[in-house]
Amino acid sequence: MKASFSLRKIIIGTFLATSTLTALLAIFLQYQNSKEIVKNNVLIQYNQAANSISNKVSELHLKAQNSIDLISHYAELTESISPKKLLPFFRKMLEQNKYFYQVYIANKDADFMLINLKSSQENSDDFRLAYWKSVLRYTGNNRFQIVTYYDENMRVIDSRHSIINAMDAENRVWFKNANKSKVFKSDPYLFLPMQQPGITYAREVKNKNTKTVVGIDILVARLSNMIKQENMLHGIETYLFSDAKVIASNNSKYLDHADKYSNVKKIEFTEKEKKYLRSHPILRVSNEDDWAPYDYIRSGIPRGYSIDYINILSKLIGVEINYINGNSWSELVALFKQNKIDVLNSVSKTEHNKNVALFSDPIGMTHLGLASLKSNNYKSIDEILKNTKNVNIAILEDSSLHNILTDKYANISIKEYTDVNVAMDSLLRDEIDAYLDDISVLTYVKQQYHFYDITNNKTDLVGYSGDKIRLAVSNNNEVLHGILNKAIKSFPITILDRINKEWLSMDATVGKDSVLPYKELSEMAYNKSYYDHLEPRFIDGEKLYFYVTPITNKKNDTFLGVVAPADVLYSEAIHDLKMSVLVILGLLISIILPVVMLIGFYLTNSLNQLRNETKKITQKKYDDVKLVHSYTKEISELSSSIYSLAHDVKKHEKEMNSFVDSFIHVIASAIDDKSPYTAGHCNRVPEIAILIAEAAHNYPSGLFADFKFKNDQEKREFSIAAWLHDCGKITTPEYIVDKGTKLESVNNRIHEIRTRFEVLWRDAEIQYLKNVLSDSSQEKTFAQELKLKRQQLHDDFAFIAQSNVGSEFMSDEDIERIYQLAEISWMRNFDDTIGLSPVEELRVGKVNCNVYPIEEKLLMDRPDHRIERIQEFYVDPAFAIKMDVPELQYDLGEIHNLTIRRGTLTAEDRFKINEHMISTIKILEKIPFPKSLANVPRYASTHHETMKGSGYPRKLSAEDLSIPERIIAVADVFEALTAADRPYKKAKPVSVAIDILHKMALDNLLDLAVFKLFVKSGVYKVYADKYLPEEQNDLVDISKYL
């Protein structure tokens, strides 16, 4: 059945749908318009931010250059540079430029700097009030430094001498690259000793005998703050980048260098080791610029597997680490050899360098990889040699692979690079055939710099079993060497597993952010068509908008990139959309919906009344149906139609009930008329059953306390069940129902047996005459023998005839006599296989006998008496039938029938009669009774069940039988006992029938309560007075039954 909806819902739904569609269309148009407005506003904001940042960066760049020029010019004019004179000059410069971190001047013998502590928030707990900090270092033969702290007005708070805790100026990148012609600007690197990333502007001072350099430092964090000040929406990422490397960002991961392993505990050392550590509280450790994911810098911050490892070692040892970066690998090695670096990070121990330094135990393991063009996909150098002439293999500068390659492959060219990216670029330009490095490094570089045309494969190299990453210290520093090894041996396994997973596993969680995280930004930076507008892209299923614009005006090497998720970008439009939805919902709920509901209520109220009236029709309360008054013409007309329909249905139902009842009565009468000996049974049982049921209805006590017919339909249901209780007899053969003698089938076969006795009588008389003719002198003797023979024949036939009636119980002696009489023979002179029906011929079969007469027995159980079932007996298991089914359908054997101990029915006959209950179930279960008559099949099929479960067809017991079923059972037995038309018994007087019913109730065959009600209420008397003759309707003493 398809779903249906009330008129009220349809009305309300139509109004709401129309209103909602109109509102949605308006909201959609508003949303689209808002999106365009938002995009335009965002473009304006981004352009303004870009101009602002560009102006600030340009201004900062210009100020830095001008300041450098000013300091340089001052130094050129001053023959002797005094820190005392420089102090107010440097202070003024830092005050006027809030982004400057420190200003300094340096040569190979000394350097002096002034630091704005408020710019870096560097001041320690001891000097929280300090505003300025100056450092004067002497790096000649007598090395020391003077650190002075000042308040805001340059009054000295503290001044102290100490050892130098930073690398000499002449070894710094900015010192080496500074020249007299122009200002040098460095990439981000780590400032010492504060370990914060920054950028340096430097220039060499002219007219000095010794190289003197002035410089200004700017912290990357200050540039990131500059970006944050542009007040971008939360969730929008902003990057200041150059050459795909991040200079500054509002993304916290580019600023965060928090300590992740603060719970690592210090290990114990010997007194000698403790003494060394007290004198060396800070270890200077090399940090490469670009050997990710092992050792590299991100926005000037040291990063990588070995950096995390060394940071853990520092906690185990109890020292601070100053990372020296901003130099190439060869420069770092040179500084190490000059003892200006204590620990050389991430080195391999080989045959060629094993004596150069003291190498620690391994801190990690690399696996060799081979990078080649995807079109070549080389997996080994040998494969390259097979396919290419003039092979060029690239490695990193000073790599341990150099000597192995030259020893193994004399015919290849080896090219060394200082930077992995440069090597990969050379590979893309086809300048080299392959590049050898650690597979993790190759994988990292490919992902970070988007080298998608390059493929990486693990490879093997004879003589190379995998580099073990170690730390190196100078040969004369055995104490530090021992300290490092002791810490390596104590390295926590859980932390080692963690940093391995974070940096070197296939699903590494860190180490992938040292460069610009979106390749789209770097691609757009070098395509001017993308400048200054929003470009939508889908990244991992998320819609992002990209914005790129150049920051510097001259070289276009620095860019501002913005990445905005669509939901963030359109948050304002979405907010407006939500507000519009809320307003519309408010209107719908507060105004439109109540109005519509009132209209719906008005229109549906009458319909609800009509529905109530139609319910009366379904409840068959036709006379209670009333007209519903309404101002709506259609509803008024519908009410009139329903009123007329109620009376028409009532009339039709009455006619149909009369028709069905008449049809049922006709069926019952037809069943009764089928046999003249059971005529009226199907008519009389309902009369008795209805009388008992009415009595139960009027005596609500005991078993019948809750019994009553709730309506006329239930009473009618019971009556129909009583009328149809024997409808299955329509399938029972008439001669079985009417079988009055044992030998009766279609006819009473006692006559056939009597004929055989007639033959025996004639044979005895013939034998007498033959005997007299042969010896007349013995005539009297022969006559006496004949008389005795005849008398015996009369007695034997009388016994068989009496046995055939079945009115008395047959004893074992009677049954034995039947078997003895059956052995008497007689002579048959005629063929008994002719004149038969086709069915009889099939049962008898072909008998080849041409010699007559044939001797036969007086009584026989012949094979043709055994009638097999035509089809297998089957009943639906759902009917729960529990009856024993005989092997044969019928057994007409003469001896078999005459030896029935009681009555006239064989087991086959009894089953055939009892089978009428199965037929009743089959017939009634196939009829689609309405719900009001649903119990008819059950009530009609249980009157042969007993209270103790010995009945048929289902062997139900008391707990299975309802009161209506028990009533019909009593009615059926009483009618059968008092019926005068049963061939196998005589009608019982009422008193005898009541007594038999009582005994059956006591034997738990019938319900005792129903029996007592039957007697006490006088139902038996009412029925007897109406249907039984006067001589049968005798007096009954009911007191003995109650």
Maximum average pLDDT range among 402-406, 486-490, 603-607 = 486-490
Look at residue 824 and tell me whether its pLDDT is greater than 90: yes
Q: Could you give the C-alpha distances from 619 to 566, 607, 708, 932, in angstroms and in order?
A: 63, 18, 19, 11
Q: Could you give the C-alpha distances from 309 to 57, 305, 363, 801, in angstroms and in order?
A: 36, 6, 8, 122
Task: For 261-276, give one letter per residue: b (16+ CB within 10 A) or e.
Answer: eeebeebebeeebeeb
- Looking at every residue in the chain, the average pLDDT score rounds to 81
Look at residue 485 and tell me whether its pLDDT is greater than 80: yes
- Identify the pLDDT of residue 254: 54
- Identify the pLDDT of residue 813: 93
Reduced DSSP (H G I as helix, E B as strand, rest coil) percent helix, strand, coil of the chain, to 5? 50, 15, 35
Query: Could you tell me the domains of the chain?
Result: 78-231 (3.30.450.20), 232-244+516-568 (no CATH), 295-512 (3.40.190.10), 654-730+917-1041 (1.10.3210.10), 750-903 (no CATH)
- Identify the pLDDT of residue 545: 84
Percent of the chain with pLDDT over 90: 14
Q: How confident is the model at residue 848 (pLDDT cuts 50, 70, 90)?
A: low
Rounded distance between C-alpha atoms, residue 100 and residue 78, angstroms: 24
- Summarize pLDDT for 942-1001 with one digit per residue, the tens: 899 999 999 989 999 999 999 999 999 999 999 888 887 665 567 889 889 899 999 999
Residue 355 burial by CB count (10 A; 0-12/13-18/19+): exposed, middle or buried? exposed
Secondary structure (3-state) at 216:
strand
- Summarize pLDDT for 886-929 with one digit per residue, the tens: 888 888 888 999 999 888 888 888 888 888 888 888 888 888 88
Rounded distance between C-alpha atoms, residue 210 and residue 929, angstroms: 121
Rounded distance between C-alpha atoms, residue 771 and residue 269, angstroms: 152
- Identify the pLDDT of residue 552: 64
Output 331 or 822, whichever has higher pLDDT.
822
- Summarize pLDDT for 2-25 with one digit per residue, the tens: 566 666 667 667 777 777 777 777
Rounded distance between C-alpha atoms, residue 817 and residue 822, angstroms: 8
Rounded distance between C-alpha atoms, residue 29 and residue 26, angstroms: 5
- Identify the pLDDT of residue 800: 92
- Identify the pLDDT of residue 984: 57
Look at residue 513 and tell me whether its pLDDT is greater than 60: no
Among residues 930, 497, 459, the alpha carbon closest in space to that of 717 is found at 930
- Identify the pLDDT of residue 358: 92
Q: Which two tokens stand for residue 694?
A: 């009415």
- Identify the pLDDT of residue 125: 45
- Identify the pLDDT of residue 563: 86
Output 40 or 819, whichever has higher pLDDT.
819
Q: What angle, 0 to 180 degrees and rounded to 10, lies between the N-to-C axes of helices 305-317 and 493-503?
A: 160
- Identify the pLDDT of residue 51: 73
Look at residue 258 and tell me whether its pLDDT is greater than 50: no
Look at residue 257 and tell me whether its pLDDT is greater than 60: no
Among residues 375, 314, 385, the alpha carbon closest in space to that of 343 is found at 314
3-state per-residue secondary structure call for 376-405: CCCCCHHHHHHHCCCCEEEEECCCCHHHHH
* 135, containing H or E segment: strand 132-138
Q: How confident is the model at residue 555 (pLDDT cuts 50, 70, 90)?
A: low
- Identify the pLDDT of residue 118: 74
- Identify the pLDDT of residue 696: 86
CA pseudo-torsion sign 322, 327, 333, 334: negative
Rounded distance between C-alpha atoms, residue 923 and residue 876, angstroms: 12
- Summarize pLDDT for 123-145 with one digit per residue, the tens: 444 556 788 888 888 877 777 88
Q: What's the number of CA atoms in the CB half-sphere (13 Å) around residue 974?
A: 33
Q: Could you give the C-alpha distances from 538 to 60, 448, 535, 545, 852, in angstroms and in order?
A: 36, 19, 10, 9, 112
- Identify the pLDDT of residue 574: 65
- Summarize pLDDT for 666-708 with one digit per residue, the tens: 776 776 666 655 557 778 888 898 998 888 888 877 888 888 8
The average pLDDT across 410-418 equals 85
The average pLDDT across 719-730 equals 82
Give the position of tokens 């081979």: 370
Among residues 420, 167, 336, 492, the alpha carbon closest in space to that of 347 is found at 336
pTM (2 decimals)? Answer: 0.44
Look at residue 729 and tell me whether its pLDDT is greater than 70: yes
Look at residue 726 and tell me whether its pLDDT is greater than 50: yes
Look at residue 553 and tell me whether its pLDDT is greater than 60: no
Look at residue 347 and tell me whether its pLDDT is greater than 50: yes
Length of the chain, in residues: 1042
Among residues 616, 632, 277, the alpha carbon closest in space to that of 477 is found at 277
- Identify the pLDDT of residue 190: 60
Maximum average pLDDT range among 173-177, 779-783, 836-840 = 779-783
- Identify the pLDDT of residue 768: 92
Give the position of tokens 């017939």: 923
The average pLDDT across 277-290 equals 88
Look at residue 593 and tell me whether its pLDDT is greater than 70: no
Residue 454 burial by CB count (10 A; 0-12/13-18/19+): exposed, middle or buried? buried
- Identify the pLDDT of residue 933: 85
Q: Could you give the C-alpha distances from 727 to 2, 264, 883, 946, in angstroms and in order?
A: 40, 97, 19, 20
